[in-house]
Amino acid sequence: MIDPLPTTVHLTRREALAAERRHRAGPHQAVGATRPIAVIQPVVPAVARRPAMRTASLPLVGAAAALLMFTVNTTPAVAATGTPTTTGPVTVIAPHGQTFNTGSTGVVVAARDSYSVTAPAPRPVVAAPVISTSVGTSSSANAAVAAPSLPSTGGGLVRRPFPGLTKISSPFGYRSAPCAGCTSFHEGTDLTPGAGTPIGAVAAGTVAVSGWHSNYGQYVIIDHQIDGRKISSLYGHMQAGSSPLHVGDTVAAGTFVGLVGNTGISTGAHLHLEIRLDGTLPVDPMVWFAAHGA
């Protein structure tokens, strides 16, 4: 009778090693006894898993996010032909007719919402008013009185102290006092034809005053009868000793009165001319001349 084949027992490596140890430690098996055969299954060594690499989702910020979004959104609208052979600026045509040039000197064309920038038109240059460089001014001792209206008589009875146009450095009326002894209301008109210019009487009359005044310096006052009314004309700041007139002298319109000077309280060579109605009421000489056709 043939002995049956021994039963095959599948043991793990650990179980096989334990059985081997028990076999060595126990009593020897008798001859002819059947010993179980341990079949050792090859054990595949376990491979340690590598720890998964930690990845961090970095936020896309700034220009990178904007570029990614722009590329994804505009891909259907981009068309290209051929292979570029240069490395110059690249032009990307975005939807709605807007073009963006990547070159540093590119031009952005916005057909939909386009606009142009133009320099503002230059403002017109307005010429500054011409101000006389002469600084002649004077003071007056009489009270300030408003000028009354003057009727026009004409007839050539009145003339101006200088022929032609003459510069005015300080007109009649309120002003900023130009000096410590000057008044804020100017009772005459300061004319500046130049130092040493001859002065003529404004009308026929009689010399009432010819002398020196602390404010007017060398001055003359002439009384006139015009349209039945007394009119007095005053000529101030003349050159010292330049007037040949004396009190009581009779003069005609244009008679030499003196030379333009800078005497008295004055800041420059000029003629301070006053016109006084009834000998006391100062009025604007330029208005008075115009009213009398001079």
Q: Domains in the chain, please, with CATH?
A: 8-40 (no CATH), 168-291 (2.70.70.10)
pLDDT tens for 136-192 read 344 433 333 333 443 433 446 899 999 989 999 889 887 776 666 676 667 899 999
Number of H helices, E strands in the chain: 3, 17
Q: Kind and range of the H or E element at 273? A: strand 271-277
Summary mean pLDDT of the chain? 71
Q: From the CA atom positions of the chain, what is the Rg in Å?
A: 60
Question: What are the structure tokens assigned to 127, written together?
Answer: 């010429």
Rounded to whole angstroms, what are the CA distances from 201 to 104, 155, 245? 81, 16, 11
pLDDT of residue 139: 40
- DSSP state letter for 260: B
Distance of alpha carbon 70 from alpha carbon 261, whole angstroms: 86
Q: Which residue, among 163, 77, 140, has the nearest Cα to 274 in the 3D structure?
A: 140
pLDDT tens for 121-130 read 555 444 443 3
Distance of alpha carbon 134 from alpha carbon 93, whole angstroms: 71
**pTM for the whole structure:** 0.48
With cut-offs at 50, 70 and 90, classify the pLDDT of residue 263.
very high
CB distance 73 to 98 below 8 Å: no
CB distance 230 to 222 below 8 Å: no
Distance of alpha carbon 80 from alpha carbon 278, whole angstroms: 101
> Which of residues 153 and 215 earns the better pLDDT score?
215
In the block, tokens 């003339």 appear at 159
